[in-house]
Chains A and B, each alone.
Chain A
Amino acid sequence: MVDAAPSVHLAGTLVKRRGKPILGPIDLDLSGSGFTIVLGPNGAGKTTLLKVLHGVERLSDGDVSWSVPDAQAREMQAYVFQSPIMLRRSVRQNLAYPLQLLGEDKASIATKVTDWARRIGLEDALDRPAPRLSGGERQKLALGRALIRNPQVLFLDEPCANLDGRSTREIEALLKGAQTAGTRIIMTTHDLGQARRLASDLVFLLHGRLHEQGQASAFFSSPCTPEAKAFLEGDIVE
């Protein structure tokens, strides 16, 4: 099991690029151990919000404060990118890399790597070069590499984009397993079906602004804003 995840508070958070706001200003509280889906059309600011929460995006204004010191918060987090970044190493070495950064001993690393390779279904590919894996395998490896450190908070940026149904199902099973183990998951998607399957709570963004936040069931049954309603009905929201 993973320790309880810290909560995070965004106050007047604003991100600008070339003087143009791409996110915010928004105020947002995320706490508890749920599965938060960040929903919205392309360009809504989903990835930027995730990067802001992860602390890798420069703020133009406002604040992001975790319930623990920033350095500690960063150590508790992991991030999976939409296009998985593979180190030019074997599957085994990719899985071992985050643990090596933490200075774990070789025996412990070997045990965890074998265990996670089995969990992500790559136990027979341990010595294959990671960049040669298929798209689904790469995303599973990226997820395994993120989860192997037992993060308390896991950020995922559209992890199932461009994956087929089978790979999506496998990824979702791994995510549910991680959530059950206590990892707080915050994930972006514009796949409504996936949001319905996974979300316990939901953040809806449009044009970089927070339009709705709350329980997923309430959002899907009775959205508060016309834009969210239109989005749920499959209209093109611009």
Chain B
Amino acid sequence: MNEIWAGIQAAFRLIVTLDADLVEITLRSLQVSLSALVVASVIALPFGTWLAIRRFRYRRATIATLNALMGLPPVVVGLIVYLLLSRSGPFGVLGLLFTPTAMIIAQVIIITPLIASITHQAMRELWAEYHDLLISLNTTKTQRILTLIWDGRRTLLTAALAGFGRAIGEVGAIMIVGGNIDHATRVLTTAIALETGKGDFALALGLGFVLIALALLVNFAIHALSRTEREGTW
């Protein structure tokens, strides 16, 4: 209990004093996770929607695979990305290992199936509702996908937020491909792991509270910007 209280105090102190290290790793956490979210959303939202409206031979298998990939172990993803980006790997020449870019790649792989799967579920229901109208209006496949994405944007926001939640709290993969290098690839989660390993539970907890506050703040900000609650009953 004392450690939790000490953690709250540490978090308060870090925030009030605008601790330089905290600001740096918080910004890096945001940079990595939001970048991964944008890239993953660009892939997953159209793909999930396409999967909802398109009928093809291996559709069921594709959906089952996508759902299974939601549970990808981050450590395994980290290991595979590490091997691909290491000097002896096929992409080693790019020199991306132990950089924020490598962390973004790992997070994209982890959250894309999650966002695509939630998108597919949501878009399947909307497509059932819109199907006859959009077919009757002679819409192209692209027009159908864009219409569904636009009209289902609030549900898709939930999918994106789920992806962000997974990305910002992820530690296994980014620890492997980022290396937790001070002033280079250290983010909130890897810093928490480091401080816990050092036995500085108060600081680790403090960083943990900052992480939770950050996740909540981003969620509230996106909800406010998209006016989800005000028009959510459409």
How far is it, in angstroms, between the C-alpha of A87 and the C-alpha of B133 when the chains are bound?
9
Q: With contacts A81-B132, A81-B133 known, is A89 near B138, CB below 8 A? A: no
A79 near B136 with CB under 8 A, answer yes
- Pairwise interchain contact B143-A54, C-beta atoms closer than 8 A: no
Query: Judging by beta carbons under 8 Å apart, are B137 and A88 in contact?
Result: no
Q: Give CA–CA (A89, B231) in the complex, Å.
A: 10
What is the chain B residue whose CB lies nearest that of A157? B132
Return A57 CB to nearest CB of chain B, in Å: 10
Bound-state Cα–Cα, A87 to B134, Å: 10
Secondary structure call for the B interface = helix
CB distance from A162 to the nearest CB of B (A): 18
In the bound complex, residues from chain B placing their C-beta under 8 Å from that of A25 are none
Which of B135, B137, B231 has the most A CB atoms < 10 Å from its CB?
B137
Is B234 touching A131 in the complex (CB atoms < 8 A)?
yes
Tell me the residues in window 101-148 of chain B with beta carbons closer than 8 Å to chain A beta carbons. Answer: 126, 129-130, 132-133, 135-139, 143, 147
Kindly supply a per-residue 1/0 record for chain B positions 23-60, scoring 1 wherever the CB is within 8 Å of any chain A CB and 0 otherwise: 00000000000000000000000000000000000000
A85 contacts B138, CB within 8 Å?
no
A101 to B135, CA, bound (A): 12
Q: Is the CB of B151 within 8 A of A101?
A: no
Interchain CA distance A54-B133 in the complex, whole Å: 12
Q: Does A98 contact B (CB under 8 A)?
A: yes
Q: Do A101 and B137 touch (CB < 8 A)?
A: yes
Contact B151 A85 (CB under 8 A): no
Tell me the count of chain A residues lying within 8 A, CB to CB, of chain B: 17
Instruction: Assess whether A74 is interfacial by the CB under 8 Å rule.
Output: yes
* Chain B residues with CB below 8 A from A131, complex form: 234
Given A101-B139, A101-B143: A85 and B133 interface contact (C-beta under 8 Å): yes
CB-defined contacts of B152 to chain A, threshold 8 Å: 88
Task: Given the known inter-chain contacts A89-B151, A101-B143, A129-B234, please indicate yes or no for A56 contacting B135, CB distance below 8 A.
Answer: yes
- Given A81-B132, A81-B133, answer yes or no on A75-B138 (Cβ-Cβ < 8 Å): yes
Q: Compute how far the CA of A54 lies from the CA of B126 in the bound complex, rounded to whole angstroms.
A: 23
- Complex Cα distance, B234 from A204, in Å, reads 40
Instruction: Point out the residues of chain B lying under 8 angstroms from A85, CB to CB.
Output: 129-130, 132-133
Q: Within the assembled complex, what's the spacing in Å between the Cα atoms of A132 and B233?
A: 9
The distance in angstroms between the C-alpha atoms of A201 and B85, with both chains bound, is 73
Contacts of A97 in B (CB 8 A): 137, 147
A54 contacts across to B, CB distance below 8 A: 136
List of A residues within 8 angstroms of B231 by Cβ: 129
Give chain A nearest CB distance to B87 CB in angstroms. Answer: 51
Q: Give the distance in Å from the alpha carbon of A54 to the alpha carbon of B147 in the complex.
A: 22
A89 to B147, CA, bound (A): 11
Q: Mark A91-121, 1 if CB is under 8 A from B, else 0.
A: 0000001100100000000000000000000
A81 to B135 alpha-carbon distance, docked (Å): 12
- A-B pairs, top 5 by smallest CB distance, nearest first, are A85-B133, A79-B136, A88-B151, A88-B234, A129-B234
List residues of chain A with CB under 8 Å of any chain B CB: 54, 56, 74-75, 78-79, 81, 85, 87-89, 97-98, 101, 129, 131-132
Residues of B within 8 A of A (CB): 126, 129-130, 132-133, 135-139, 143, 147, 151-152, 231, 233-234
Please name 20 pairs of A and B residues whose Cβ atoms are closer than 8 Å in the assembled complex, sorted by A.
Answer: A54-B136, A56-B135, A56-B136, A75-B138, A78-B136, A81-B132, A85-B132, A87-B133, A87-B147, A88-B126, A88-B234, A89-B234, A98-B137, A101-B137, A101-B139, A101-B143, A129-B231, A129-B233, A131-B234, A132-B233
